[in-house]
Amino acid sequence: MSDAVDYEARDGVGVITLNRPAERNSMTPELLDAFARASAAARGDAEIRALVVTGTGACFSAGADFKAGLQRGGYDLLPHERSYAMYEPFLSLLDIEVPVIGALNGHAVGGGFGLALVCDIRIGALEAKYGANFVALGLAPGMAISYLLPRLIGVARASDLLFTGRFIDGAEAERIGVVNRAVPAAQVIPEAMALARTIADNAPFAVRATKAAIRRGLGLEIRAAARAEAHDQAQSLTTDDAREGMSALLAKRKPTFTGR
C-alpha cells in the first residue's frame, strides 16, 4: 500500500495514518487515492472491531491542496460532480461498520476538519487549530460540514464557526463539543488507542448494531448532504472572490472580496 496513507491492524484495532507531513497531510491526488485504498482495506478487514484515523506531523489534515486544485475527475463530469469527487475518499469512512475514532494529532482545517467530523468520536490535540475557513477563501463549504457541524454542536455555534471561518483551539473544541476530549498532542494517539481497545473488548455485533442504530435514529444522510453542498461549492469556484481568496492564502495576505 502507498505510504501516503498507511493501514495496519493489531488485536482487533485498525489504524489509518495520513503520512504526508511535509504536505500537511493535505488532499493531494496521491493522498486521496491512497486514503481510498486504506479505507477499503479497513472496510474489508473482518477482524477489526474499531478503527483509528490519525496523521503524522503537525497536521491531522490541512484540507485541500490549492496547488493541486479543488476538484477531481475528468471534464466529462459536471462541476458539482468534480467538487464531490474531491471529498469522496474521505467520505468512504461512512461505509465502515465499526466505530471510527479520529485521533486528531494536529490541525484539522477545511476538508481535514470534515474528515474529523465523519469520525464517530474525536480525540483532539490541545495545541491544534480546528475549523472550516471556506467563507474566508470565497468558497461555499464541502464534505457535508454544514450538515454535520450543527448536529454536533448546535445551529448557533456552528453558524458562528462557519459564517466567520475562524479557527478554535483544542480547549474550545472540547468545550463546545467538536471533540470529545482534548489532550496534549503527545497523548492523542495513546488516548485514542485506549478508547479503541475499550470498544474492541465489547461484543462486536452489539457495537456495530449500536452504531447503525445511532445513525438510523438521527437520519444521518451525510453523502446526500455532501452532494448538495457540492453544487454551491462548484458555483463558488467560478467567482472572482474564490480566485482572490485562494491567491491571498497562497500569498499569505488578507483577501479583498468584491462580491463578484
Residue 49 lies in a domain: yes
Q: Say how far apart CA 146 and CA 159 lie, in whole Å.
A: 9
Q: Say how far apart CA 17 and CA 89 lie, in whole Å.
A: 14
Residue 212 lies in a domain: no
Judge whether 4 and 24 are in contact, CB under 8 Å.
no
**pLDDT, mean over the chain:** 91
Evaluate if residue 32 carries a pLDDT over 50.
Answer: yes
The 10 Å Cβ neighbour count of residue 210 is 13
Threshold 0.85, pTM exceeds: yes
Residue from 156, 147, 119 nearest 227 by CA: 147
The confidence score (pLDDT) of residue 259 equals 84
C-alpha cell at 209: 448494531
> 7-16, 25-34, 45-54, 215-224 — which is least confidently predicted?
215-224
1: pLDDT confidence band, cut at 50, 70 and 90?
very low
Residue 135 lies in a domain: yes
CATH at residue 28: 3.90.226.10
- What value does the CA radius of gyration of the chain take, rounded to a whole number of Å? 18
Question: What's the domain count of the chain?
Answer: 1
Q: Say how far apart CA 221 and CA 158 lie, in whole Å.
A: 18
Domain that holds residue 178: 5-184
Judge whether 109 and 139 are in contact, CB under 8 Å.
no
From the centroid of its chain, how far is CA 152? 14
